[in-house]
Chain A
Amino acid sequence: MEYIIGILLLLSFVGLAVYAVRGGNLMMGMLIMGIIWTALPLIGNTFATNPEFIASYPGVTDISFVDAITNVFQSGPEGWGSVLVNVVFGAWFGRVLLATGIADALIRKAVELGGDKPVIICVLLSTVTTAIFSTLFGAGAVVAIGVIILPILMSLGIPKTLSIGSFMMSVGAGMYLNPVLTGQFLAFFLDEEGKQMITYDDPARLKWAAVGVAVQLIMVIAMCVFALRKKKTVHAWNASAVRKARPGYVPTVALIAPILPVLLLVVFNIPIILGFTIGSFYALAVCGKLKSFRGACRVLNKDFYDGVVDTAPLVGFLLMIPMFNKAAELCVPYFNALLGNVIPNNTLVISIAFALLAPLGLFRGPFTLFGCGAATLGILKGIGFATPYLYALMVIPSVTMNVSICMTQSWIAWGVSYAKVSTREHLKQTLPVAWLVCVIMQAVTYIMFG
């Protein structure tokens, strides 16, 4: 009986993979998977006869129907509440950086330092982009920054594929540290009470994330230097949408605002929500947006609203994930029965597999948590690896493959169409570099957590 259920679970997993790859709606996909992965183990539990199997999973194989559906459909999404709050505050902070013109000013400073030297410009703009997106999140933000940076890169004769590739991968580099995105990953690791098993400010995780930022940023810069060595620049006559009028005065001291919340968190242990709040008010104050109480209220309202709207499209999907996660826990005994002897309980083998097969994180494949990787994680959890290891293992392809280069990521689809490059050209430029980043990071992960 265990085997039949196990096989059915595996089949549904393949179904999700096909569905995700074909571009199906993931919110619906997660909900349906949550239902299937609750129903199948419950049926299995009812008919299980092997006493040894039943005895080895107390509390799972003998769970009552009401307890099971409460765990999956009520406690699951409820437990995600704390993550949602972080996401909202992060989005607000991002909006403040855009509205005050700080992000704009940072880019202008970088360009005014680099001038017409494509390599210097690429290095500076990649670094600035990474710094900005170590806190900023959302398609709206990427587009807002992209329409400033991409025309600059192209007007300097930097080839389109390199412009778009380096920009999007720099955004992705920042995402390793990004509290909003990280919060979404952390939501995959909640215990029975809905408490986080690994937190943003966990020192080892934070160190690992910083290494991730550095590795990906260095690889992006290496990609630029390598691609520009032949100096085959392009002069294009094109017309693009107007740059918005530059917002008011931005003093130099305002330019540290983007990394302020993370800095406060790492150096002074100031919790991230307070960090976002301090960062926002710091930015608003030095840019002279807090002159009157009434004006301050209006700005606060507006930026908060815009920030929440930025994250809205994600929230639905992310509230379905915990249902699916909880359901996956019910499935653990069945996956173990079926795969316990097939998937090696050996971190070295798993790490090597993830390094070699990293492109499976593309197209919502089995290695990205924003695709059917959520199910892969469920299976791996069942085998019983340590949480920090599993976290790092899954986040690498999710960030470097999915969020950094995959066409199914909304802002990358935007950028690729904006720059007029084909999917193939884009992947040819970025995939080798992204793959290398994955290999390096999997090695780092094995050394740190394996």
Chain B
Amino acid sequence: MGKKEKWKRLMDAFGRKAAPEYEEKGYPQAGLREMAQTLSGTDARQWGKYAFHREPLEGKFTEEQKDAFTLRANACGKEWAKRIAGKYESRSPRKIAQKMGLKIRMDNTSRGGANVLFAQFVQPDEITLFADCIDRGCALREESGCALLERETLTDVLLAHELFHAVEERNAETIYTRTEKVELWRKPFSNRSSIACLSEIAAMAFAGRLLGLESSPYMLDVLLVYPYNKDMAWALYDEVCALVGK
């Protein structure tokens, strides 16, 4: 056992007191296949509502504005998928990432709990995929009947999503998701802010177009949480259903 490992074990021994759980229970239960079916029928505008429900600046916008933003963010994601595929002459996120000089890292630690991590992009050039999450997702391929959970597709989707964030970073001056701003302060003060959820909406559309997917990768929010915590997946599913009026 290395020094680092020993140190970690010591720390864990000290901090081993079980973390208290404060999770919501009692959401309507649904079968995996049923959820996958309903979610795959959810359209871009409806996923926009879900994205804005998690947006910190949500209170600043009317429903009409949100719909308009969603439309433009989706168009932006698709547009850039076309451009990037053309520029790097490939539709494989892995190849594009290589050509863009990005590092791809696999993280093997389990990232479950109250907040499940799928993948991340760290500035300036690193993408991390969480292997445990992919493994657990793939295991549900048959049960769910969802094509997105095919191992290769799933890896590509996660990679493509994060790839968009890298693209955003390199084109921050011109890309819609960064140039769309909202004024937060009253005159004469000014604080113009971009809208975080537009990046996510566009990243999903980017992945969808690049890989030619039939349904939005947004549904992974529910499906990839399911193997970690069914109650949380049901809660997320319930949230989506309530927002789209199903």
By a beta-carbon cutoff of 8 Å, the part of chain A in contact with chain B is 21, 23, 108, 111-117, 120, 139-140, 143, 147, 150-152, 155-157, 231-243, 363, 407-408, 410-411, 413-414, 416-420, 422-424, 427
Contacts and interface: CB of A to CB of B under 8 A. Distances in A.
Interface string B198-238: 01100100000000000000000110110000001001101
A424 B8 contact: yes
Contacts of A423: 8, 11-12, 14-15
Nearest to A105: B59
Contacts of A242: 24, 235-236, 238-239
Contacts of B193: 114-117
B15 A413 contact: yes
Contacts of B60: 112
A237 B239 CA distance: 18
A120 B191 contact: yes
Contacts of A411: 20
Nearest to B242: A245
B40 interface: no
B158 interface: yes
A151 B162 CA distance: 18
Given A237-B158, A237-B162, A238-B115, A111 B120 contact: no
Contacts of B185: 113
29 contacts: A21-B14, A111-B57, A112-B59, A112-B184, A114-B191, A116-B193, A117-B193, A151-B54, A151-B115, A232-B124, A233-B123, A234-B120, A235-B122, A237-B120, A237-B158, A239-B118, A240-B115, A241-B114, A242-B236, A243-B54, A408-B14, A408-B15, A413-B17, A414-B19, A416-B19, A418-B113, A423-B8, A423-B14, A424-B8
A412 to B, nearest CB: 9
B22 A140 contact: yes
Nearest to A426: B15
A419 B119 contact: no
A427 B8 CA distance: 12
A411 B161 CA distance: 33
A11 to B, nearest CB: 22
B104 interface: no
A139 B20 CA distance: 9
A419 B185 CA distance: 30
A240 B123 CA distance: 22
Contacts of B197: 155
B75 to A, nearest CB: 20
B22 A420 contact: no
B115 A419 contact: yes
Given A237-B161, A242-B238, A413-B17, 10 more contacts: A108-B59, A115-B193, A156-B56, A231-B123, A234-B121, A237-B200, A239-B118, A410-B20, A413-B15, A422-B11
B89 to A, nearest CB: 26
